[in-house]
Amino acid sequence: MVLRLAALAVVILLCTSVGWAAPAVLDAAAVPLLGAEGRADYGRFLMQATPRAFALAPDGNWAWASAIGSAAETSARALALCADYARQPCALYAQDLDVVWPGRKSRPAPAPSQPLRAGAGWALQPDERFLWQGAQAARGAYLWAHGRAAGGQDSRGSQPQPHARVFNNAGYDVLRFDRAPDTDETDTAAAWLREALLTLRARGYQRVVMAGQSRGAWNALQALAEPGLVDAVVAIAPAAHGARGSPAWAWALEDLLRVVAAAKSPAARVVVATFTDDEFDPDPLRRAALFRGLVTPRVGALLLLDRPPEVSGHGGGAEPAFTWRYGVCLLNFAEGRVARC
């Protein structure tokens, strides 16, 4: 418990001492009634996906819920949990990005509803589920690329993984690299991504973090082939050759070697996370060896999270345990404050 509270204190510090005008929802010190443990848990709440809700009781008890169906269902769950703990009625303090407590209500400025740029088959879309500052005020831009579903499902609009909240709470605008499934081929998407990243640079973002999962992570690594496109890459379970049994596995390692060899971004800091029991990973040991080839001068620094024990499976990066253990470290590594987790 001591270690968990210490880690949450770091999150709260990041959320409340950033150099921009932090929205009220990030101010853990402003939450009424809570003691130290409650404020620490509020920091954990701030790393959760939406819909989310934080409830308070008059005696200082609290509870929160995240992504329990609809926004109304999530809020109802938070209130019910709080009432169970406190044995008295509770009220909501925060919902999603808003403070809703009577007398302290606050709603941050919304993200733009229209893409910053779009082409045939893709869009650079601000995500309205995250806090928005704009290029001139933000600490940087965090661009998330979704995977490509094996069954051809449309992943546009899917919520970035929870570790994006850590970057957002520290002042990064969060945008999505949305792609239409019928034209989302690997190298085609890499060309689209270049245009999206150049747009962020042209908009004036001082830092650009390119992150993604599965095929989105593979495209993020491809962005390293052009110096200056990205300041950091966060590649979660990168893959581009289908699940177990795919005939494309025969050349998957050869293609990965080409991606690594093409990297020439000596200032970029790169995170690669792989997971045990990933049905999209044809050879965990050999892939890890190839990823270790992302060294100077190809990139500025590499953090390889090779099959960490906390989570498993292709979707391990979306698990709360991954964000809880590594979210703050990803931010600190991307900004050059740490060399490893």
Q: Residue holding tokens 């880690």?
A: 7
| Residue among 162, 193, 202 nearest 45 (CA) | 162
How much of the chain exceeds pLDDT 90, in percent? 92
Q: What is the pLDDT of residue 58?
A: 97
The arithmetic mean of pLDDT across residues 85-101, rounded, is: 97
Antiparallel, parallel or unpaired: β 117-119 and 91-95: unpaired
Contact 196, 129 (CB under 8 A): no
323 conformational bin, left if phi > 0, alpha if psi -120 to 50, beta if neither: alpha
pLDDT tens digits, 140-181: 999 999 999 878 899 999 999 999 999 999 999 999 999 999
- Whether the predicted pLDDT of 19 surpasses 70: no
Length of the chain: 341
319 CA to centre of own chain:
11
3-state secondary structure of 280: coil
3-state secondary structure of 217: helix
Residue 5 binned pLDDT confidence (cut-offs 50, 70, 90): very low
CATH for 117-334, options being 3.40.50.1820, 3.10.180.10, 3.40.50.920, 2.60.40.1220: 3.40.50.1820
User: Cis (ω within 30 of 0) for the bond into 297?
Assistant: yes
| Residue among 171, 172, 143, 176 nearest 158 (CA) | 176
Q: What is the pLDDT of residue 20?
A: 61
C-alpha 95/C-alpha 50 separation (Å) is: 9
The arithmetic mean of pLDDT across residues 134-139, rounded, is: 97
Q: What is the pLDDT of residue 149?
A: 84
Residue-range domain boundaries for the chain = 2-99, 117-334
CB atoms under 10 Å from CB of 255, counted, come to: 14
CB atoms under 10 Å from CB of 215, counted, come to: 25
Instruction: Report how far apart the first and last C-alpha atoms of the chain are (Å, whole number).
Output: 19
Rounded to the nearest 10 degrees, the angle between the axes of helix 320-334 and helix 2-16 is: 50
- Whether the predicted pLDDT of 16 surpasses 50: no
Give the C-alpha distances (Å, rounded to integers) separating 104 from 31, 86, 99, 100, 186: 10, 22, 7, 7, 47
Residue type, 341: C
How much of the chain exceeds pLDDT 70, in percent? 94
220 CA to centre of own chain:
13
How does the average pLDDT of the chain come out, rounded?
Answer: 94
Q: Give ∠ CA 141-327-212 in degrees, rounded to 5.
A: 50
- Whether the predicted pLDDT of 6 surpasses 50: no
pLDDT tens digits, 250-298: 999 999 999 999 999 999 999 999 999 999 999 999 999 999 999 999 9
Residue 216 binned pLDDT confidence (cut-offs 50, 70, 90): very high
The burial of 244, by beta-carbon neighbours within 10 Å (0-12 exposed, 13-18 middle, 19 or more buried), is given as: exposed
Residue type, 49: A
